[in-house]
Amino acid sequence: MEELQSRLQETLSVLSPQELRNFRFILKTVDEEPRVSPVLLELEGSTAPGLARLLAKNYYLSAAPRVLTKVLKQLPRADLLPRWQDDLTPYDSPGIPRKILKRSFDCVESELDCYDLRGRRKAFLMCIKKDRPGSDQDIQLMGDWLQQCQFESTLCIDPNEKDLMDKLTSFRDGLNEIKGEIGCCLVTLMSHGEKGFIKMKDGVRVSLEDVFEMFNNKNCPALHEKPKIFIIQACRGEKRDNGMETDDEPMQSDDISEKRRLPTFSDYFIIYPTQADHVALRHPRTGSVMIEKMMEVFKQYGNKWHIVDFFTKVNNRVVHTEFFLAKMAGDGVGCSLCCSELS
């Protein structure tokens, strides 16, 4: 396994940070069991060595090269495929196809796999306002968006750790008690944060993994095969792209064998405003950049796109947003924002 892991790492190290993020996202869509847990991907797969280790541990020796080549074809990085061609059986790959899979805007409706969203749409919206100027604008924008998307919303403002976990538990239990169909669940957490955690108004940390686990197929059977969307508007570390105020900037004044079985974690869509270990950016007047761009994309395209393409467009808007430093010697310098990460 060590030799396989070393070869995987050698290939993955060639990829750019953006390609590594895309690799992780595509990996979750590959039809190959057992799938890598979204939580493990988030916690351990942010680097080439970590991702190589996950692939080597999760798949059999013959499966890992097959999974790798499937993802590389979709990036697309066909130039990296020849080094793995000898590891594939003729059934796996008679050649090196270079066709890129269609996105939703290239397809007719009948060609796409779609979730059935005709059931009730439930949303949980939490926001820490303390020391986060612009958070009122975030709440307003998200509230309007959820209403337009026909979500029934539960609002949670400035909770402590116990309040948040109690309200999330009540929200989750309420989903399990609904008699009819549920179409979708969306949880938005806007706060201070660091990698793997969000912070409450008193600075106490709450594990994101604990939050994600509350809604898995074991703990929330009402959401079996239903989309579970998590929007985490918070810092993920202390690295900075200097510019607008950050979500952690100190303020002056973020028979069982015969039954069909689901993985414990499935149908998760986890959206972050920044890459791992970096701060998230928020303007003190207009609010969080990612939330603002979500509203822009929704107003322009509505619900015409697949969720993946929707947030890819949001990511693109965030990346290409420019701003100027307000306090520095000489002229202001234009900078690009960190891109968001789909998980």
Of 185, 192, 338, 339, which one is the catalytic site residue? 192
**In whole angstroms, what is the distance from residue 1 CA to residue 319 CA?**
37
CB distance 102 to 111 below 8 Å: yes
Backbone angles phi, psi at 100, to 5 degrees: -85, 135
The C-alpha angle with vertex 111 and arms to 107 and 112, in degrees rounded to 5, equals 85
Of 235, 278, 338, 339, which one is the catalytic site residue? 235
Q: Is 224 a catalytic residue?
A: no
Q: Is 338 a catalytic residue?
A: no
**Which amino acids are annotated catalytic?**
192, 235
